[in-house]
Structure 1
Amino acid sequence: PDGGTSPDRRRRRRKLVMFLAGVLGALVVMAAAAFLTDVGFDFGGKGGTTGERKPSAAPSTGDGKLPAGVECRGGDCAGKDPEAMGCGGERARTASRATVGGTLIEVRYSKTCRAAWARITRATPGDEVTVKGPGGGAAAGRTGTVDEDFDAYTPMVAARTQGAAKACAVLVSGQRGCTE
């Protein structure tokens, strides 16, 4: 009489549609949360959403054992090469940056190593970059000079936080500038 759509059948269909809409909504919320918090469900094997390979375990920043490949932490890193000590690459982030003329200067920071260094790019041979860390003395400041590669970085200074260091450049043109 009603074409096979009884009130009970319509009610069950409406419940099913509402249930499926709820499941779909929950999936959308979970996907948005994963994307916004960079949980990085690694479906493509490329390490999350940024395309960078993520470490398989969170780097240790306590006073215990250093992660594999990391050779120093804090004051032990002062004056050492960040790449050779395992503090660069995926373990480092740009903490601050500034441009002087067309030259870019950056403070690079490794939470794992609790150390910072300065990097200068798009530079001219002879340009200098300096990093200054907290405290004083020789361990609190390091300089790097640009060679024919048009970039350079300094040795590290100890820094407990990413905002603890500042980079400054002196260009062969006479221009000067610092990160904030």
Structure 2
Amino acid sequence: MTDTAPSAAGPLCARLAGELRDLRTRTGLSMVALAERTAYSKSSWERYLNGRQLAPRQAVEALCTVAREPSGRLVALWELADLEWSGRANTTAPPMARAAATPSPDDRPGDHGTSTGHTAPGRGHIRSIRRHQGVLVATCAVGLTAAIAVTALLHTATENPTKTASSARPAPGCHAQTCTGHKPTAKGCAMPRQEEILREQKLSTGTPLEVVYSKQCRAAWALVGTAQVGDVLSVSTPGGASEHVKVTDKYDAESPLVTPMIDGSGLTGLRACFTPADGHKQCFQT
């Protein structure tokens, strides 16, 4: 496997890299922390997430494990990306197309005793037509399989919402005090319809800051949409735990900045503070 993407690499490889980046963001882990939790180095993950190298299947599965994400969907996408990366998807179609264009002995009118082109085709000719139709369908399938498969993968939630919801969204893994210090995505607390925005504020940089409360986990955290290397975000309650997160590298800066959770049993006086690397600390109370 090469470090530089081959010319055959295309939308499927890019899609896989994007999905892996999104999954890494959900874990809340820096590149260094991700390397520590898997068998792959920081530099390897950089190549995988930037699409410069196709991630091994085992790396995809390892990231799914860290993120507590069922691996089936991404492994299926990886298999398609692997075909695209290796070029195997591009070398299958031409021979089949040539086979479809080559006349079969059954196509020759004289072989079936037909005297003109206006007579009804014989059984052999019909079989030939059907065979050629099958070849043409298979040839088209080579080019369409990837698109169809990806579409099916991405729309699983629409086709089977009950199954997807139960497999893709793990049950919350903590409650109140036991959530302290954990990332909301890692414990399944960042779930639609279970979150309440306690405060939404625009920072002086124009970046939105939110303080979020999970009803199901009874925990709270803060997040900002974009941040720069060196920026720090914290969340705390009077007399309670204080949690903070810092942008340590350019890869962290590509994703929303999310603090670990704090106990949300008592929300009175909950405060979020953002300290930019090159500015003044800004704090907001709910």
TM-score of Structure 1 vs Structure 2, range by shorter chain: 0.5 to 0.7
Q: Give, in whole Å, the separation in 2 of the partners of 1:175 and 1:109.
A: 26
Matched letter for residue 234 of structure 2 = T
Match of 1:114 among 211, 218, 234: 218
Max Rg structure: 2
Aligned to 1:144: 245
Instruction: Identify if the C-alpha distance between structure 1 residues 120 and 129 changes in structure 2 by more than 3 Å, giving closer, same or farther.
Output: same
Which string of whole-angstrom CA distances, capped at 9 and with x for unpartnered residues, describes residues 45-81 of structure 1?
Answer: xxxxxxxx9xxxxxxxxxxxxxx61111110111111
Q: Give, in whole Å, the separation in 1 of the partners of 2:225 and 2:245.
A: 12
Aligned to 2:228: 124
Aligned to 1:159: 264
Task: Name the count of aligned residue pairs.
Answer: 113
Taking only aligned residues, the RMSD between alpha carbons, in angstroms, comes to 2.5
Matched letter for residue 115 of structure 1 = A
Measure how far apart 1:150 and its partner are.
4.8
Measure how far apart 1:100 and its partner are.
2.0
TM-score, scaled to structure 1? 0.55
Q: Give, in whole Å, the separation in 1 of the partners of 2:214 and 2:268.
A: 11
Q: Give, in whole Å, the separation in 1 of the partners of 2:269 and 2:188.
A: 20
Q: Give, in whole Å, the separation in 2 of the partners of 1:134 and 1:88.
A: 24
Q: Give, in whole Å, the separation in 1 of the partners of 2:234 and 2:223.
A: 9
- The answer as to whether partners of 1:107 and 1:179 remain within 8 angstroms in 2 is no
Instruction: Identify if the C-alpha distance between structure 1 residues 155 and 118 changes in structure 2 by more than 3 Å, giving closer, same or farther.
Output: same
Which string of whole-angstrom CA distances, capped at 9 and with x for unpartnered residues, describes residues 2-60 of structure 1?
Answer: xxxxxxxxxxxxxxxxxxxxxxxxxxxxxxxxxxxxxxxxxxxxxxxxxxx9xxxxxxx
Instruction: Identify if the C-alpha distance between structure 1 residues 176 and 129 changes in structure 2 by more than 3 Å, giving closer, same or farther.
Output: same
Which string of whole-angstrom CA distances, capped at 9 and with x for unpartnered residues, describes residues 140-171 of structure 1?
Answer: 10001232215211110001255552211000
Instruction: Identify if the C-alpha distance between structure 1 residues 150 and 83 changes in structure 2 by more than 3 Å, giving closer, same or farther.
Output: closer
Question: Which structure features the higher share of strand residues?
Answer: 1
TM-score, scaled to structure 2? 0.36
Matched letter for residue 141 of structure 1 = S
Structure 1 stretches of at least 4 aligned residues deviating more than 4 Å after TM superposition: 161-164
Higher relative contact order (CA 8 A, sep 6+): 1
What pairs with 1:1-180 in structure 2 (closer than 5 Å)? Answer: 69-90=171-192, 91-101=194-204, 102-136=206-240, 140-146=241-247, 147-160=252-265, 165-180=270-285
Q: Between the two proteins, what is the percent identity of the paired residues?
A: 33
- The answer as to whether partners of 1:109 and 1:162 remain within 8 angstroms in 2 is no
Q: Give, in whole Å, the separation in 2 of the partners of 1:151 and 1:164.
A: 24
Matched letter for residue 212 of structure 2 = R
Matched letter for residue 185 of structure 2 = E
- The answer as to whether partners of 1:78 and 1:155 remain within 8 angstroms in 2 is yes
Question: Which structure features the higher share of helix residues?
Answer: 2
Which string of whole-angstrom CA distances, capped at 9 and with x for unpartnered residues, describes residues 116-153 of structure 1?
Answer: 011011322221100002433xxx10001232215211
Please identify, of 162-171 and 123-132, the stretch whose mean Cα deviation from structure 2 is larger: 162-171
